[in-house]
Structure 1
Amino acid sequence: MWTFLKTQYQQTNVVSHVLLHKQLNEIQMVSFPTTKAFLEAWQAANDNLLIAGLTLPEEVQVNVLLNALPDSWQSFVSQHSNTPNLKLTTLLTNIRQEDQI
């Protein structure tokens, strides 16, 4: 019985991780009324992955977030894509600042 439960739980974990990762990847800024709402939704989806035990490397998080920005932010994306070792906290701050401008 224990082996059966363990197998079922592990399959559920894999499925949950895939679904949570998909949710994070599907969040796009254009779907939200404000940048603040977008960042809150993106951070919540990222936090859900952490809670589920799936830690994405910071570089992946940065890439996913940059990819979620709309075409109108292309110059911002280009500028930050070329920044070596860009930290997620720095990117989040820069998005908020860009939104204020």
Structure 2
Amino acid sequence: MTTDTNQIVKVRLIQPQDNPGIAAVIREVSAEHGLTADKGFAVADPILDTLFEVYSEPRSAYWVVEMDGEIVGGGGVSQVAGGDNETAELQKMYLSSV
């Protein structure tokens, strides 16, 4: 495997206009690895198209990864559902293979 070291990689907080791009990456990566909706994977999650809004809640954050200006991945952290205020989990971390 070779890597072009001249590519510009940027990690930044998600913005409203990123919703379609990161949802497409999650769907692409899920399909590539057989992570189907019927098996309960994130591709079936109803929030998939609204990650900016979901991760704008308190104690949550989501970052997108851009390569040469194109969204190629992302990942978020948020409080565990029903958990205490001191426990968070890594959520919806996907990176494209391109």
- What's the TM-score once normalised by structure 2's chain length? 0.28
Q: Which has the higher strand share?
A: 2
- What's the TM-score once normalised by structure 1's chain length? 0.27
Q: Which has the higher helix share?
A: 1
